[in-house]
């Protein structure tokens, strides 16, 4: 029974409560988040950590008139529940349901859409400058940003600019000493010194011209409210530094903050994680990467590993455990991750720079300017390529082929399975004349027996998987296995040929020329953007040969694919087995 929360549908309701009821609300809100996330899954620890802050902000400020931005947005579940989405919170992250991140089209209380980190201060400053220019001097602007996210370049850029304005902005630094994994870097050290009272005289935020308060206990609701009310009356840029515990209120989440960042299903009373099925499963691609890298690095001392703040998600943690001096977590700093990899490559090291496909978008210039133009043999491992599922459009890794394919010098490889991933990693560390981007998806592969000895691949070589004489399937990446299934399910399948193109660039020109000459009908299939992707590359090639054939491109269409389970999303994108099979069958 949630006696208080039951009556709260908007922040206006919350503002009528007395302090005792607000305190009770913190308990009920935590329970509500735990109740739903324990069965529906999602990000847990971050939202539990900001329950008091969420209530205090909506109590002290006049949202949605005052603008409130949640950096990354994975901590905004309490905010969603208190701003009209309590009854639909159980649809969180599901297809057709609410998004796991703030989204402007979802609610007037979501002042800015987030998902990728460290954007909040810039967006907030934009709003505050706009308010100033338009004479809206009453409006308040608040960003909540975590200690890991504020260490990112983009957040620093925002602070640096904001400090020379007299805008009405408040940055709340939510310091729990954690990202997904423990926070890293000199700023983390500085914040720790501030918390323990051992920081030197000068305060870094005051030096940036912010009015600084803190650190204060972010779980002390009356104190938070009092401080926010006070800060509201102070003009100019302000920073409030609060100390919180990630996972606050659920013992296991407090004790194991990395796992409970997004724990999957768990017992809401004990916090115990739901037991996984006992049967042996194929490996996660991230583990194939992580374990293979260790295997290679133990033999090749030039290999180094880099991750921007995702040691657990990328499985670089395996190398960090075994070869800590050669594996670097650089914090949420994708641009820096790419350029230090470039620097290392100039000096003969072999950097495996692992970045989620979606987060590499932030380091596009570094890929071109620092790596490709100088033709440095950096090995990019782009995890979470393709549709990632419940995180939705901010996180789908569907643009990489299109945005990388136009960069000269860069090899692009999309292995069909775990074995091919291992082989291309092995091949790359033997020494390439160019940088390479190896993309692979979220989740598991298909092969139990994957830890076989590795063999060298020929860069740019495609593979005939099945002979046929009428229609040619050309696939790249694990979606090639869907083509195999379709072929196996079709009776007249002698008509269907299947070619795997692990290399999107360079394309296997010889094989492609043969295919274009032999087949009148070609189908390409990929899990990336249909515009500018692998299919487009085939089309361009065919056009250049002057040999005009029917080429049907299956890829992600020209709209943002929403959140939901991947099977459903494949359908939404029209690249699921049924859709492709239906297309093929018309011609048989």
Ligand X SMILES: Cc1ncc(C[n+]2csc(CCOP(=O)(O)OP(=O)(O)O)c2C)c(N)n1
Q: Kindly list the residues in this chain that would bind ligand X in the complex (CB under 6 A).
A: 46, 49, 72, 74-75, 116-117, 146-149, 174, 176, 178-180, 246, 309, 332, 334, 359, 362
Sheet strands side by side (includes 521-529): 463-466, 496-500, 471-475, 521-529, 550-556
Of 60, 72, 410, 507, the residue at the interface with ligand DXP (CB under 6 A) is: 72
DSSP string across 541-567: HHHHHT---EEEEEEE-SS---SS-HH
- The kind and range of the H/E element at 186 are helix 186-196
526 is catalytic: no
Measured from the CB of residue 215, what is the shortest distance to ligand X in angstroms?
A: 14
- Quick check: 265 and 272 in contact, CB under 8 A? no
Is-catalytic flag, 67?
no
**Residue 161 annotated as binding?**
no
Question: Is-contact 527 441, C-beta < 8 A?
Answer: yes
- Comparing C-alpha atoms, which of 112, 107, 118 is closest to residue 148? 118
Of 362, 384, 439, 505, which one is the catalytic site residue? 362
The answer to whether residues 331 and 185 touch, using CB atoms and an 8 Å cutoff, is yes
Instruction: Return the DSSP state at 82.
Output: I
Longest distance between any two alpha carbons in the chain, whole Å: 79
Is 325 annotated as ligand-binding? no
Give the DSSP H or E segment for 111. none
DSSP letter at 91? G
Q: Rule CB under 6 A: is residue 44 a binding residue for ligand DXP?
A: no
Q: Establish whether 74 is an annotated binding residue.
A: yes
The strand pair at 503-505 and 411-413 is best described as: antiparallel
Q: Is 370 in the site for ligand DXP (CB under 6 A)?
A: no
Among 11, 146, 263, 415, binds Mg ion (CB under 5 A): 146
Token output for 247: 């996972």
Span 91-110, contacts to Mg ion by CB under 5 A = none
Q: How far is CA 346 from the centre of its chain?
A: 29
396 binds ligand DXP (CB under 6 A): no
- Check binding of 442 to ligand DXP (CB under 6 A): yes
The annotation status of 227 as a binding-site residue, yes or no, is no
From ligand DXP, ligand X, Mg ion, none, which one binds at residue 262 (CB under 5 to 8 Å depending on kind)? ligand DXP
Which tokens go with 351? 């950097």
Q: Which two tokens stand for residue 129?
A: 């400058």
By CB under 6 A, is residue 308 in contact with ligand DXP?
A: no
Residue 147 marked as a ligand binder: yes
Q: How far is the CB of 180 from ligand DXP (least distance, A)?
A: 6
The answer to whether residue 6 is catalytic is no
Contact pick of 79, 384, 396, 422 for ligand DXP (by CB under 6 A): 384
Judged by DSSP in three states, 268 sits in coil
**362 near ligand DXP, judged by CB under 6 A:** no
Instruction: Identify the active-site residue in 67, 80, 238, 246.
Output: 246
181 binds Mg ion (CB under 5 A): no
Q: How many residues bind ligand DXP (CB under 6 A)?
A: 10
- Annotated binding-site residues for thiamine diphosphate read 74, 115-117, 148-149, 176, 334
- Annotated binding-site residues for Mg(2+) read 147, 176
- Annotated binding-site residues read 74, 115-117, 147-149, 176, 334
Residues in contact with ligand DXP by CB under 6 A are 43, 72, 74, 180, 262, 313, 384, 388, 391, 442
């Amino acid at each position: 029974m949630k006696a208080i929360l039951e009556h709260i549908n908007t922040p206006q309701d919350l503002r009528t409560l007395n302090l005792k009821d607000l305190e009770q609300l913190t308990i009920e809100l935590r329970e509500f988040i735990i109740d739903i996330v324990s069965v529906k899954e999602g990000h847990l620890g971050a939202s539990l950590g900001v329950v008091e802050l969420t209530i205090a902000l909506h109590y002290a400020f006049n949202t949605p008139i005052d603008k409130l931005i949640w950096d990354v947005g994975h901590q905004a579940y309490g905010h969603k529940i208190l701003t009209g989405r309590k009854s639909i919170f159980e649809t969180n992250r599901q297809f057709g349901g609410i998004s796991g991140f703030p989204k402007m089209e979802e609610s007037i209380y979501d002042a800015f859409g987030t998902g990728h980190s460290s954007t909040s201060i810039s967006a907030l400053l934009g709003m505050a400058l706009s308010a100033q220019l338009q004479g809206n001097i009453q409006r308040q602007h608040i960003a909540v940003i975590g200690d890991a996210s504020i260490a990112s370049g983009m957040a620093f850029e925002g602070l640096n600019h904001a400090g020379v304005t007299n805008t009405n902005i408040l940055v709340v630094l939510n310091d729990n000493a954690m990202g997904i994994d423990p926070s890293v870097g000199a700023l983390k050290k500085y914040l720790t010194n501030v918390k323990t009272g051992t920081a030197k005289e000068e305060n870094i935020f005051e030096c940036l011209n912010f009015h600084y308060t803190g650190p204060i206990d972010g779980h002390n609701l009356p104190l938070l409210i009092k401080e926010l009310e006070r800060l509201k009356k102070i003009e100019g840029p302000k920073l409030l530094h609060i100390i919180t515990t990630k996972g606050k209120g659920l013992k296991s989440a407090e004790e194991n903050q990395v796992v409970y960042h997004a724990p999957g299903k768990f017992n809401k009373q004990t916090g115990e994680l739901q037991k996984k099925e006992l049967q042996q499963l194929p490996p996660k691609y991230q583990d194939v990467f992580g374990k293979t890298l260790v295997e290679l690095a133990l033999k090749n001392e030039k290999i180094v590993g880099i991750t921007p703040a995702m040691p657990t998600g990328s499985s670089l943690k395996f190398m960090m455990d075994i070869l800590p001096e050669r594996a670097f977590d650089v914090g949420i700093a994708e641009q820096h991750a790419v350029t230090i990899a470039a620097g290392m490559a100039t000096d003969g090291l072999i950097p495996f720079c692992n970045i989620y496909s979606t987060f590499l978008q932030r380091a596009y210039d570094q890929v071109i300017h620092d790596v490709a133009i100088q033709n440095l043999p950096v090995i990019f491992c782009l995890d979470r390529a393709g549709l990632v599922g419940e995180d939705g459009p901010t996180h789908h890794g569907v643009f990489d082929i299109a945005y990388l394919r136009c960069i000269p010098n860069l090899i692009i490889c999309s292995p069909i399975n775990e074995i091919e991933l291992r082989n291309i990693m092995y091949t790359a560390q033997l020494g390439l004349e160019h940088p390479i981007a190896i993309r692979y998806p979220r989740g598991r592969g298909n092969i139990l027996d994957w830890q076989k000895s590795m063999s060298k691949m020929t860069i740019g070589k495609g593979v005939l998987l099945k002979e046929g004489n009428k229609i040619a399937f050309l696939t790249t990446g694990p979606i090639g296995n869907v083509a195999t299934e379709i072929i196996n399910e079709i009776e007249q399948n002698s008509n269907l040929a299947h070619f795997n193109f692990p290399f999107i660039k360079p394309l296997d020109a010889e094989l492609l020329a043969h295919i274009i000459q032999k087949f009148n009908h070609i189908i390409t299939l990929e899990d990336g953007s249909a515009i500018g992707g692998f299919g487009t590359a085939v089309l361009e090639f065919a056009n250049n040969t002057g040999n005009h054939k029917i080429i049907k491109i299956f890829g992600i269409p020209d709209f943002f694919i929403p959140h939901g389970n991947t099977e459903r999303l494949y359908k939404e994108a029209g690249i699921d087995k049924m859709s492709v099979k239906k297309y093929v069958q018309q011609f048989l």
